[in-house]
Amino acid sequence: IDFYFDELGDRFLGWVIDNYPERFTEVELEEMRAQADSHLDIYEVLDVFPGKGSYIKSLFTKDEGFLKDISSSFGLVKWDIFLTRCYFFQGNYYATGECSRFSLAEKEFIINRMNKARSDYSSLFADTDYAMFAKNNWDIFYQIEREINERIRNKKVYTNYGEFQPCEVHFKVNNIQNILVKIKSLDEFNFIGTSAAKRGQKKTKKIMRFEFDWTTQGIQSELDSIKTGEPEDGLMLATHQLDDTGNKTGIEGIGNLYVDKLKFRLKTNSLELAEFARRHFTDVFGETITFKRIQKLNYNIHSRNTVDEISKEQEMPTQNELELIQEIGEKYYLSLLDQEVPALNNMSPREASKDPATRPLLIDWLKGLENHLERERRNKGLDISMQKIIKELGITW
């Protein structure tokens, strides 16, 4: 639609309308003119009506309206950012072509990148009209999309103890009884249960395997030497353990231990933790185990399963389980309101709600939380009330 043909002296759709109007009805011509005037843009979703469409607003023109598009209404959630081409026709917007969805966290990057491109275009051509900028520079939108994808691919993921890298630490078992006695005396291990492990050359023999969570309890000071600082650019993963009411205990799960009469194997999520475990377990368990190797595991942190794939792999929780998960989840998110958030100038959300200077940051933070909770509701059926969180803060926007 936006490609300018020198041979025609025009863009194709405009040329067709001007030269062959008699081939179309008035309604068809009206819709064609709307498409010819339209351009690529980046929108924010203000509300979604599944099965009908979404209410959207351009990040740059501030134009807003109802996007009558059933298929995208099942994929988009409130506060999503997405790239598409829309045309306005008979009171509604209609999407044409593909739609690319971005994380709300990319909103600031998109705005800054686009403002720079618009400023350069305006300086070069003395033209501030956004529609003409978009029609003449549609490649910039796809360049921004590529840059975002590249940022995501290259973004590092961290644990509280080093960069994310799943590892297994293998030891040979010399005395299973003494190992189990020692584990029982240590606060850092929680017993999970037993299972049958297949051993032997043909893996036909079954022997009992003991499973434990490895936690930070009692060894926090020893772990300080490998503690990760606040990353400048990246995602921080943490597996804090919660109590029965959903509140953080201050103890973090840092690995899973599997022990049988032949093998002592730890799975953990950073090379630093694996190296620490090698030294620490050698000291703690002494001659009952013999270190063999550390094995890095392949992974792709950016891969995503579809909802259908997830449903095949996991059993859906029962109604009672779902209600319990929602109750604990709700208490967890309410507990976040009293914890410091770096994005809120290290204030808690409750403190930020009372500070006029930080209030805009809090609104952005709440939009991100609402976006996340709505996607959890769509994908997993977890209906955690955003209204309770907003009411607790006494804030509206």
User: Tens digit of pLDDT for each residue in 147-163?
Assistant: 999 887 777 778 889 98
pLDDT band with cut points at 50, 70 and 90 for residue 395: confident
The top-scoring range by mean pLDDT among 180-194, 229-243, 296-310 is: 180-194
Q: What's the one-letter identity of residue 69?
A: D
Q: Please determine, for residue 303, whether its predicted confidence score (pLDDT) is greater than 50.
A: no
pLDDT band with cut points at 50, 70 and 90 for residue 319: low
The gap from C-alpha 286 to its chain's centroid, in whole angstroms, comes to 42
Q: Please determine, for residue 203, whether its predicted confidence score (pLDDT) is greater than 70.
A: no
- Here the tokens at position 389 are 């969180």
Residues 6+ apart with CB under 8 A from 48: 54, 55, 73, 76, 77, 78
- What is the overall mean pLDDT for the chain? 86
pTM of the model: 0.64
Q: Please determine, for residue 138, whether its predicted confidence score (pLDDT) is greater than 70.
A: yes
Secondary structure class of 244 (helix, strand, coil)? coil
pLDDT band with cut points at 50, 70 and 90 for residue 374: confident
Query: Is the distance from CB of 53 to CB of 37 less than 8 angstroms?
Result: no
Residue 51: closest CA among 31, 76, 82: 76
Q: Please determine, for residue 262, whether its predicted confidence score (pLDDT) is greater than 80.
A: yes
Q: What's the one-letter identity of residue 44?
A: E
pLDDT at 321: 58
Lowest mean pLDDT among 87-96, 275-284, 369-378: 369-378
Query: Is the distance from CB of 67 to CB of 95 less than 8 angstroms?
Result: yes
pLDDT at 234: 59
The gap from C-alpha 51 to its chain's centroid, in whole angstroms, comes to 25
Lowest mean pLDDT among 150-164, 321-335, 374-388: 321-335
Q: Please determine, for residue 99, whether its predicted confidence score (pLDDT) is greater than 80.
A: yes
Task: Tell me which H or E stretch contains 346.
Answer: none
Q: Please determine, for residue 358, whether its predicted confidence score (pLDDT) is greater than 60.
A: yes
Strands 234-236 and 156-159, how do they pair? Answer: parallel
**Is pLDDT larger for residue 381 or for residue 290?**
290
Angle between helices 12-19 and 26-37 (to 10 degrees): 150
Q: What is the phi-psi region of residue 19: left when phi exceeds 0, alpha when psi lies from -120 to 50, beta otherwise?
A: alpha
pLDDT at 132: 92
**Is pLDDT larger for residue 166 or for residue 334?**
166
**Side-chain-facing half-sphere of 394: CA atoms under 13 Å:** 6
pLDDT band with cut points at 50, 70 and 90 for residue 301: very low
pLDDT at 249: 64
Angle between helices 359-380 and 386-393 (to 10 degrees): 160
Q: Please determine, for residue 28, whether its predicted confidence score (pLDDT) is greater than 80.
A: yes
Q: State mean pLDDT over 18-31.
A: 96
pLDDT at 154: 76
Using CA atoms, how far residue 267 sits from 4, 137, 182, 270, in Å, is 58, 49, 19, 9
User: Tens digit of pLDDT for each residue in 234-258?
Assistant: 555 655 555 555 555 678 889 999 9
Q: How far is 231 from 342, CA to CA, in rounded Å?
A: 11
Q: Please determine, for residue 320, whether its predicted confidence score (pLDDT) is greater than 50.
A: yes
Residues 6+ apart with CB under 8 A from 387: none
Which residue blocks in the chain are alpha helix, DSSP H? 12-19, 26-37, 70-73, 107-125, 130-136, 138-154, 176-185, 220-223, 271-285, 307-313, 319-335, 349-352, 359-380, 386-393
**Is pLDDT larger for residue 111 or for residue 395?**
111
**Is pLDDT larger for residue 233 or for residue 38?**
38
Q: Please determine, for residue 64, whether its predicted confidence score (pLDDT) is greater than 90.
A: yes
Q: Please determine, for residue 129, whether its predicted confidence score (pLDDT) is greater than 80.
A: yes
